[in-house]
Amino acid sequence: MPAEARARRDAFFAAIGKTPLIMGILNLTPDSFSDGGRFQSPDLALAHARRMVEDGCAIVDVGAESTRPEATPVTERQEVARLAPALERIIDGLGVAVSIDTTKAIVAALACRLGAVIVNDIWGLQRDPAMAETAAEAEAGVVITHNRAEKDESVDIIADMRRFFDRSLEIAAKAGVPLTRVILDPGIGFAKTARQNLQAVAGIAKFGDYGLPMLVGASRKRFLGSLTGNGVEGSLVGSIAVNLAAAAAGAAIFRVHDVAENAAALNLYARLRAAA
């Protein structure tokens, strides 16, 4: 990893736990559930990334394949074609770390060569058998996200998350990814019922024994709509409420679309908690 990228990676990990950190979402997709098609132009993507940094995000998470339910899968070639024109400009044009949101090792490798410093894998290194080694070779951090093949109301979701995390951490260790570069994500909205999503947020504190930072990505997720009554994607208020609850449970990083609003709420929460 080049020295400049390593410095950005290390600065991001060093900041975890000192203040709530915002991961800004940048979708280079035509079909993401919330902002698909808005930032496919490299100029628009870079402008939006810069705006998120100005609004307070500590890392920009770039993805080129939608992870929404029922999304049409894309090939490696398609994902690279969407990603390549904008990613290098984004990395070179920002002063913060950039992560790559992908389930494909080939895409992760390309992104890391261009300067991405974290691989955000919604299958927790368990889908593509080359992903863990790719991240290790690139000296990248990894976000291990809990996921399932399908929803099952009968599943004890906390126990399922622990089994999943144990397996992913075993894979990471075998590949040579140090624990100091691992982040856990409860996978809000991924093959969970509304009840299980709530349990996953409330249960964040139960994973403190891992000694690893927790990232939460609840922004505009579908289950918020059923909680707030404001429709399929819920509302900004719902997203902030979940993030504040997650912060109270011990989450350190928050993946969001609306950076300024979430940053303001979480920073105020942190100041109030420090004064208590």
Residue-wise DSSP of 177-235: --GGGEEEE--TTSS--HHHHHHHHHGGGGGGGG---BEE--TT-THHHHHHSS-TT--
Q: Using 50, 70 and 90 to split pLDDT, how confident is the model at 236?
A: confident
For 74-125, the pLDDT digits (tens) are: 899 999 988 988 898 999 988 899 999 999 999 999 999 999 999 999 999 9
Q: What confidence score (pLDDT) does residue 74 get?
A: 85
Q: Find the catalytic residue in 8, 104, 181, 221.
A: 221
C-beta of residue 22 within 8 angstroms of C-beta of residue 49: no
* pLDDT: which is higher, 169 or 1: 169
Helices (H) and strands (E) in the chain, counts: 10, 8
Can 9 be counted among the known catalytic residues? no
Can 221 be counted among the known catalytic residues? yes
Q: What confidence score (pLDDT) does residue 32 get?
A: 45
Percent of the chain's residues with pLDDT above 70: 91
Residue 119 backbone class (left: φ over 0; alpha: ψ -120 to 50; beta: rest): beta
Q: Using 50, 70 and 90 to split pLDDT, how confident is the model at 169?
A: very high
Percent of the chain's residues with pLDDT above 90: 74
In whole numbers, what is the pLDDT of the chain averaged over residues?
91
C-beta of residue 139 within 8 angstroms of C-beta of residue 120: no
Q: Using 50, 70 and 90 to split pLDDT, how confident is the model at 35?
A: very low
Tell me the backbone φ, ψ of residue 239, rounded to 5 degrees.
-60, -45
Does the pLDDT at position 233 exceed 80?
A: no
Q: Using 50, 70 and 90 to split pLDDT, how confident is the model at 235?
A: confident
Q: Find the catalytic residue in 9, 104, 181, 255.
A: 255
| pTM, entire model | 0.92
Q: What confidence score (pLDDT) does residue 33 get?
A: 46
Q: What confidence score (pLDDT) does residue 95 get?
A: 86
Structural domains of the chain, ranges and CATH numbers in brackets: 3-269 (3.20.20.20)
Q: What confidence score (pLDDT) does residue 40 get?
A: 65
Does the pLDDT at position 234 exceed 70?
A: no
For 182-230, the pLDDT digits (tens) are: 999 999 999 999 899 999 999 999 999 999 999 999 988 777 766 655 5
Q: What confidence score (pLDDT) does residue 224 get?
A: 72
